[in-house]
Structures are given as C-alpha cells and as structure tokens.
A and B are shown apart, each in its own frame.
Chain A
C-alpha cells in the first residue's frame, strides 16, 4: 500500500530490541516496494548487511546509505538526504526512508542534531517522502527521547502510529537549542576593499597567514563571497570584517549595515522558490554559520 504522501511525513520509531527494528523495518520497506515507491535504508554498514539478509533478493531494489559517512554535520546531512530523495523521486512517485540515528562521541552534540531533526520538517516539507527516523532507546537519555518527540509529528508505539503530543514548531525548536554566539574578542579587523574581488584577495591573505589548507581556503573564499555579496546586495553594504582563529578554527565575520533577519533555519533549505542560494552554499562549505544581531551590526559568522 502506498503511503499516499504528497508531502513530507516525518515519523519516529523508538525501539528497545534489535529484532523489533528488523521486523518493523522489513515490513515498512516491503510495503514501499509493493507500492513501487523508492526505498532507502540508512544505517551503519553492519546493520545494512543485516537488512540485506532480511530483505533477500528485494534488497537489490533498495538504496542503502552508510550513515557513518552521511552524518558529518547537520547542513551536509540535510543536503545529502535531499539529493538522495530527489534522485529517488526521478524514478518513483514517492519515497520512503528509514534512517537510524548516529551519535557523535560527544552527546552534547545532541542539541545540534535535534536541530537537524527539526529542520528536516522544513527542508523536505514539499517532497512526497515518508521518513522514519529509528532510535534504539536502550540507554538513550530521557532528554534525547524528549527531543525525538518534539521533532517528529508522529511516533510508532506498539502497532500504531500516533501523533506526538510534544511536537514543536521547527523554527522555535531550532531557536531554543541554538546557543548564543560567543563574543570572540580574539578576532582582528580587516578591510573589505570595496568590491568582491578585493574582499577575496584580503580574505585569501588572512587564510594563508593562518595556514589554512588550500582546499579549505577555497571553501572559505566561495562561502565568504556569498556572505559578502548578500551584505552588499541586501545589507546596505559591509560595515566591518573580522577574521582569526577561535577554538582551533578559522573564523570570518561579515558585519553589514542592514536590519538583518531573524530566521534560525536560514541556509538550511535547499535553493528553490522562496529559498535563496547564498547562505545554503555558505553552510555547505563551512563547519558552522551563525547569523545574529550585534552592537556592530547584523553579523554572519563563518567557522571553517
């Protein structure tokens, strides 16, 4: 039976026993295959092998994704899944996907990944995709389970899908978990130079001075160009620029004279009508992007 989705359905499946994961997942994927939907299973390589065995010959019709390679940063994960969904939608009218969550060594990073789950509700909202995020709850802190319930509109409990009582507005969830930007007094000012070419030349000198590897320097030149262009086009011009190293990372700030914006998910939605390209590009190429109002002006801070 087809999911009948014309837009995103974002669900969570919380399980305790591994055999429960296999049982439910195989049934979910087989339903999708029967309905000629594109089917995706995202998990560790070990568990991909388990699912291949369980699906038998039908595994050839499923796209498997190694989450170890995909969950690097939220912005990259959003982009990678978005691309994969589009790829599947070229071959099928709708898609269903199972994605097992992978945590980094620092559970403190959970806030960032909860933000990713919230952003999922917006990033793929217009796509006929049913995404089921699977979580093994054995040993999972309550805080994480609460986060799952606040970022997924429905949860599989027993045999039933039920609406989550704790589902929150995605933008508000992201706003709540986004930390306040640090002051970073160690950054130094540099001159914007009047146009984008001079800006890149100045920025390149700073990148070389900080011994940033060439490939990453190119990332920052492209990302910085997008942010600087936005400042010139939409922000009434560049007020100031700052660069330097903080927490071991190269940082570049572009401060403009405009009124800025207040969108906690800016740059996370793939370019399309209503979602511009500049901040998406900058998020893809940098480790972190912060957008905030400061005494100096509206600031976009890029961490490499």
Chain B
C-alpha cells in the first residue's frame, strides 16, 4: 500500500526485493536487438512499479504472479522500440508519444486497454491518424525472428504468416505431425512383425502371399498369419491407449 501511495522508501524496498526476479526475466531478452541489460532492468523496474500501483491483493494472486506480466511487457516494448528500423518524422514521433501517454494514462485510470475511439478522443487525433501512427509503431519483424523468448523455441515468426493457400498446407502440416505419431506407433512392432505387414500388404514393395513370406522366413503360412494378427493387435492396443498431450515443455 505504501508503494501504491508512491512512498519512496517503500518503492525502493520493493525494487530491491524483486530485482533478482526482474533480472531473471531480463535474461530472456539479453542480446535482443542491441538493448543493454541495464535498460532492460530499468524498464523492468518501471513495469514492477506500475504493477504495484494496480495490484489488488484481494484477488489472491501473489504479487509476483501479477507483476511479472507487466515486467515482461515493459521489456518487450523497449526491445520493440529500440529495434524499429523505420525513421520517423518529428511530427510522427510527437504523435506517437501523445498516443502512448494517453494509453498509459487510460490504463492507470481504468485498468484496461483503451479502445481506438477512446484513444482518439484523448489525443485529439482522428481515427485515421491514430491508425497510421499505430501501424508505424508496429515494428517490422524478420521472418527469421524466433517466436517467444523461451530458449527452447525453434518456431519463427515467418511460420505464423498466413498465405492464401494456407488451409490445405495447414492440413498437410497437421498430417505430417500425425504421420510422425504413426511412425512412433509402428516402432512398437518388432522387425519380424514389420516385415510381415509390409511384405504382405505391399507397402513400399510388391505384395507377397503369406506362403512366400513364410518360405523366406522359414515359417509356415499359418505362423505368418499369427504373427500378422499379433502385430495388428499390438497396433490396435497402442492406438486404443490414449497418448499424453504432445509438446510438453515442462
């Protein structure tokens, strides 16, 4: 509460207490677009103090659970700001500053993002001017930019950009993900079971009779039939068993 009131000593104590956590978040942005670590920390502290003003302990959410979002957001905005390659006119810079100030003020007063109409009313800009400025402010992104700051992330921004033929291609991506799951399924078969199935049903080769397969393996046709039945039952049971959700990043 003392922090909410702007008590300097309380703010300092708060920052001291959470600086290690802020530094932890900053590590995810280190090296991002030439932003210095101290700048990230400063923005993180600003995010923390912003959160402290708005935090409501009655929600039951621990303070850091709430504040970490604003700390990260402040750092993201700094990185976006610094890495924007487009040079702006003084007029555009001043306009953008007005928009950002109005947004911050609205957030503090109402606890929610302003609508376009509210921003236009607060800044005196027309909707068209507002939209132009916001469009400029969206930093152009490289297709190769990794998505997210998770070190394990391999996906890139380019992969999220839709194109007109996307629907079918999206399905093909899903098919490929599921084909991998099926290959995992067949991996549960032993070499002999795989051989029998692939040869009997002509997968990747001409189909063969059970007798021919048996002759090659030194077994009767009836034994081959049993092996095939066991293999199919294995595949059935493996499919009937629900998998766990894939992509667990724990």
Contact B182 A285 (CB under 8 A): yes
Q: Which chain A positions have C-beta within 8 A of B236? A: 222, 226, 277, 281
Q: Within B18-65, which residues are at the interface with A (CB < 8 Å)?
A: 21, 24-25, 28, 59-62, 64-65
Q: Which chain A positions have C-beta within 8 A of B250? A: 62-64
CA distance A121 to B198 in the complex (A): 40
Chief secondary structure at chain A's binding surface: helix
Smallest beta-carbon distance B19→chain A, Å: 15
Q: Which chain A positions have C-beta within 8 A of B177? A: 69, 72
Partner of A22, one of B21, B65, B198, B207: B65
CA distance A30 to B170 in the complex (A): 36
Contact B244 A48 (CB under 8 A): no
Contact A214 B150 (CB under 8 A): no
Complex interface: stretch among A4-12, A82-90, A162-170, A253-261: A82-90
Contact B207 A204 (CB under 8 A): yes
Q: Which chain A positions have C-beta within 8 A of B186? A: 215, 218
Q: Which chain B positions have C-beta within 8 A of A271? A: 240
Complex interface: stretch among A73-81, A149-157, A238-246: A73-81
Q: B175 an interface residue at 8 Å Cβ cutoff?
A: yes
Instruction: Find the B residue at minimum CB distance from A72.
Output: B174
Q: A200 an interface residue at 8 Å Cβ cutoff?
A: yes
Contact A200 B201 (CB under 8 A): yes
Contact B155 A54 (CB under 8 A): no
Contact B245 A81 (CB under 8 A): yes
Partner of A82, one of B113, B147, B166, B242: B242
CA distance A221 to B232 in the complex (A): 9
Contact A19 B70 (CB under 8 A): yes
Number of B interface residues in the complex (CB < 8 A):
63
Q: Which chain B positions have C-beta within 8 A of A218? A: 182, 186, 197, 203, 235
Q: Which chain A positions have C-beta within 8 A of B61? A: 23-24, 26-27, 30
Contact A80 B232 (CB under 8 A): no
Q: Which chain A positions have C-beta within 8 A of B66? A: 19, 22-23, 26, 54
CA distance A55 to B21 in the complex (A): 11
Interface string of B217-248 (1 = CB under 8 A from A): 00000000100000010011001111111111
Q: A49 an interface residue at 8 Å Cβ cutoff?
A: yes
13 further A-B contacts with Cβ under 8 Å, apart from A31-B60, A53-B72, A83-B245, are A16-B113, A23-B59, A26-B66, A27-B60, A27-B65, A48-B150, A49-B28, A65-B247, A105-B162, A201-B207, A222-B232, A222-B235, A222-B236
Q: Which residues of B contact A (CB under 8 A)?
A: 21, 24-25, 28, 59-62, 64-66, 68-70, 72-73, 112-113, 147-150, 152-153, 155, 162, 166-168, 170-171, 174-175, 177-179, 182-183, 186, 197-198, 200-204, 207, 225, 232, 235-236, 239-250
A-B contact pairs, 13 of them (CB 8 A): A17-B112, A18-B69, A23-B66, A30-B65, A49-B148, A54-B65, A66-B247, A72-B174, A81-B245, A105-B166, A204-B203, A285-B239, A287-B175
